[in-house]
Chain A
Amino acid sequence: MRNTLRIALVGAALSAVSFASAASAATSATANATAEVLSTLTLTADSALNFGQIAANTGGTVSVNADSTAAFSGSLVSTGTRAPAGFTVGGTPNANVVVTLPASATLTRTTGTETMIISGFNTLPTGAFQLNGTGSANFTVGGVLNVASGQVAGSYAGTFNVSVEYQ
């Protein structure tokens, strides 16, 4: 029994495309034991958060919002392509999905200790959302880059966590 389930599960995991048939196979194995086996969740990155090209004199912020609007404050000038990060979620049709983001993320100068903060992470759709009838949904992530006055020149690197979960 256990092995049968494992095979069905790995079959599902191996090929997202043929998942529906693998899931049906698992369903017929047993109703109760496969309950948690049937659902899968996939996440694919489509595009990255891009703040464009920024020229700064005395600091300020650059906002790239999840709805693709952009703004800047202070003496910053922002040009070029500015776009939120885009992701595709795949899973059970009509299922509810939640995106979790950190409050902020830190960028550190690669050859130093100076930092810059990205805060105000936001998503579109806002809050929990529902996968469509074919089990798919897209969401975007934006944020606010905070550039300090007299920010030390150099190359800054950082990461931020994006995670999705069935509710």
Chain B
Amino acid sequence: MSLNTSIRHIVLSISALTTVLGTAPAIAQGDLLVAPTRVIINGGGNAEIVLSNIGSQAATYRIGAELRRMEPDGDFADVTEAEANTTEKAALEMLRYAPKRITLLPGQPQAIRLSARPTPELPDGEYRVHMSFRAVPPALSPEAAQEQVAAGQLAIRLTPVYGITIPVFIRKGRLEAGATIANPRLGGNAAAKWLELDMRRTGQRSVYGEILGKRGGEQVFQIKGIAIYPELQSRTVKVPLTAEQIGKLSGPIRIEYRELPENGGQLIAEITSTVR
């Protein structure tokens, strides 16, 4: 469902306690769909990403390249260009893309072209950039800008610039990688229960796949899209579980880390263990 984000007003009264409230004008900001959601460029080449406006009004989108680092719990940390290391800078420098800004009608898709050419002197390895697709908030209307607060008042307009990022991997050289799973254990709090795993990665590139839990012939749980990026040697993974799933976790459980079925479904790592 599409719902326009409107600019919020937060009205502060500094000297007086008189309440002043601005009404929030409805303004279109684009909801969006992006596909594919991962791009791998081996050795250099081109790719296309489709961006589509799934909102109900025309919207403008900004396309950019950003950096992220994976943290040991699987979260991402935003990395500014000033904080970028050599590998991250090289990744940003080798990536070209266009257009950088587009306006789309509702339902209209548009392809974004990318290309990456690692220079010969770059060391072999996996270089990664996160392409971002963000809805640009519309400029403040003249009426809204004129809607000044009374003397001594303070008004705030805070607009989320929301969007989707997708990882673009540029691989140079022949890269290998492997992974292991260890120490499956139950965790949780009052609101949720989960299975926690320790995962380790070896090699020069990231690993990516899904985690499957099986007892006997029955699949008890599945979580898709688990990656370990090259900046990490190990991370933890939490698989949310229902009470019914936890009930099935008595005795030895086989836990598999596999490539996604559409990538061949090869086994990357496995462990058969009882869950504590």
User: Closest CB of chain B to A104's CB: distance in Å?
Assistant: 11
User: Closest CB of chain B to A15's CB: distance in Å?
Assistant: 8
> Is B246 interfacial (CB-CB < 8 Å)?
no
> Is A68 interfacial (CB-CB < 8 Å)?
no
Q: For residue B267, which residues in chain A have a CB less than 8 angstroms away from its CB?
A: none
> Is B102 interfacial (CB-CB < 8 Å)?
no
CB atoms of A39 and B156 under 8 A apart: no
User: Closest CB of chain B to A138's CB: distance in Å?
Assistant: 11
Q: Which residue of A lies closest to B192 (CB)?
A: A125
CB atoms of A165 and B166 under 8 A apart: yes
Q: A35-B263, A158-B159 are in contact. Are A44 and B31 (CB under 8 A)?
A: yes
CB atoms of B152 and A153 under 8 A apart: yes
> Is A54 interfacial (CB-CB < 8 Å)?
yes
In the docked arrangement, what's the CA distance between A46 and B6, Å? 10
Dominant secondary structure of chain B at its interface with chain A: strand
Q: For residue B161, which residues in chain A have a CB less than 8 angstroms away from its CB?
A: 159-162
> Is B276 interfacial (CB-CB < 8 Å)?
no
Interface residues in B208-231 (C-beta closer than 8 Å to A): 222-227
CB atoms of A48 and B160 under 8 A apart: yes
Q: Select B154's contact among A38, A39, A56, beta carbons within 8 Å.
A: A56
Q: For residue B98, which residues in chain A have a CB less than 8 angstroms away from its CB?
A: none
Q: Select B134's contact among A110, A147, A161, A165, beta carbons within 8 Å.
A: A161
CB atoms of A34 and B262 under 8 A apart: yes
CB atoms of A91 and B75 under 8 A apart: no
CB atoms of A45 and B160 under 8 A apart: yes
CB atoms of A127 and B159 under 8 A apart: no
CB atoms of B10 and A53 under 8 A apart: yes
User: Closest CB of chain A to B134's CB: distance in Å?
Assistant: 7
Q: Which residue of A lies closest to B1 (CB)?
A: A44
CB atoms of B54 and A145 under 8 A apart: no
Q: For residue A53, which residues in chain B have a CB less than 8 angstroms away from its CB?
A: 10-13, 19-21
Q: Mark A14-52, 1 if CB is under 8 A from B, else 0.
A: 111000000000010001101111111111111111111
User: Closest CB of chain B to A47's CB: distance in Å?
Assistant: 8
Q: For residue B222, which residues in chain A have a CB less than 8 angstroms away from its CB?
A: 94
CB atoms of B109 and A13 under 8 A apart: yes
In the docked arrangement, what's the CA distance between A151 and B153, Å? 10
Q: Select A100's contact among B13, B51, B68, beta carbons within 8 Å.
A: B68
CB atoms of B36 and A36 under 8 A apart: yes
CB atoms of A166 and B33 under 8 A apart: no
Q: A32-B264, A44-B54 are in contact. Are A162 and B76 (CB under 8 A)?
A: no
Which stretch of B37-45, B114-122, B175-183 is in the interface? B37-45
User: Closest CB of chain A to B36's CB: distance in Å?
Assistant: 4
> Is B34 interfacial (CB-CB < 8 Å)?
yes
Q: Select B14's contact among A31, A57, A87, A165, beta carbons within 8 Å.
A: A57
In the docked arrangement, what's the CA distance between A87 and B6, Å? 13
Residue contacts A-B, CB under 8 angstroms, 23 given: A32-B264, A34-B262, A35-B260, A42-B33, A42-B34, A42-B54, A46-B1, A53-B12, A53-B13, A55-B16, A56-B13, A57-B14, A77-B17, A107-B157, A107-B158, A147-B12, A154-B155, A155-B157, A158-B157, A161-B163, A165-B167, A167-B74, A167-B225
A interface vs B, CB < 8 Å?
6, 9-10, 12-16, 27, 31-32, 34-57, 77, 79-80, 85, 87-88, 91-98, 100-103, 105, 107, 110, 116, 118, 127-130, 141, 145, 147, 151, 153-167
Not counting A32-B263, A49-B8, A80-B19, a sample of 6 additional A-B residue pairs whose C-beta atoms are within 8 angstroms of each other reads A41-B164, A56-B12, A118-B158, A145-B10, A155-B154, A165-B167
B interface vs A, CB < 8 Å?
1-8, 10-17, 19-21, 24, 29, 31-40, 48, 50-52, 54-55, 66, 68, 73-78, 107, 109, 130, 132, 134, 137, 140, 145, 148-149, 151-167, 222-227, 238-240, 260, 262-264
